[in-house]
């Protein structure tokens, strides 16, 4: 079974630039999550989708971050404009149903904002 795919694996940008990350969950998984993991901290949930609807985006900085999952399969997370404090690993995960299920994580995208 293929795992959660993410791209790119690494990205370096300057502050005020924009960046986008892509995630393809495990086939058949209805729930998709985006997490931000700052160095030395645990993953922080940014947004959670159930199929193509948003379940929780309470910790998403909506003035600069956006995410979509238009067809209920793959998803894109965008940051515009980026700030220095956005430097982190962005993790995508998926689960069969709600987050009471095991979450399967992708390799993450390491973002550095200069």
Partner 1 sequence: AQSVSQHNHHVILSEAASLELGCNYSYGGTVNLFWYVQYPGQHLQLLLKYFSGDPLVKGIKGFEAEFIKSKFSFNLRKPSVQWSDTAEYFCAVTIGGFKTIFGAGTRLFVKA
The site for partner 1 (CB under 8 A) is made up of: 3-4, 33, 35, 40-45, 48, 55-56, 91, 93, 98-100, 102-108
Nearer to partner 1, 82 or 94 (CB): 94
Q: What is the DSSP string of 2-19?
A: ---EEE-SEEEE-TT--E
What is the closest distance, in whole angstroms, from the C-beta atom of residue 107 to partner 1 in the complex?
Answer: 6
What is the closest distance, in whole angstroms, from the C-beta atom of residue 18 to partner 1 in the complex?
Answer: 27
What is the closest distance, in whole angstroms, from the C-beta atom of residue 103 to partner 1 in the complex?
Answer: 7
Nearer to partner 1, 23 or 82 (CB): 23
Nearer to partner 1, 65 or 82 (CB): 65
Residues 6+ apart with CB under 8 A from 44: 35, 36, 37, 38, 59
Question: What is the Cα–Cα distance from 58 to 21, expressed in whole angstroms?
Answer: 20
Nearer to partner 1, 33 or 82 (CB): 33
What is the closest distance, in whole angstroms, from the C-beta atom of residue 82 to partner 1 in the complex?
Answer: 23
Give 108's strand partners. none
């Amino acid at each position: 079974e293929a795992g959660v795919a993410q791209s790119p694996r690494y990205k370096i940008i300057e502050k005020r630039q924009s960046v986008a990350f892509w995630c393809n969950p495990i086939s058949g998984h209805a729930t998709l999550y985006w997490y931000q993991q700052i160095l030395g901290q645990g993953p922080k949930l940014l947004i959670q989708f159930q199929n193509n609807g948003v379940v929780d985006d309470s910790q998403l900085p909506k003035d600069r971050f956006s995410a979509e999952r238009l067809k209920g399969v793959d998803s894109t997370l965008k940051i515009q404009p980026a700030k220095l404090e956005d430097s982190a690993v962005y993790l995508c995960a998926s689960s069969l149903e709600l987050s009471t299920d095991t979450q399967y994580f992708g390799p993450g995208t390491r973002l550095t904002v200069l």
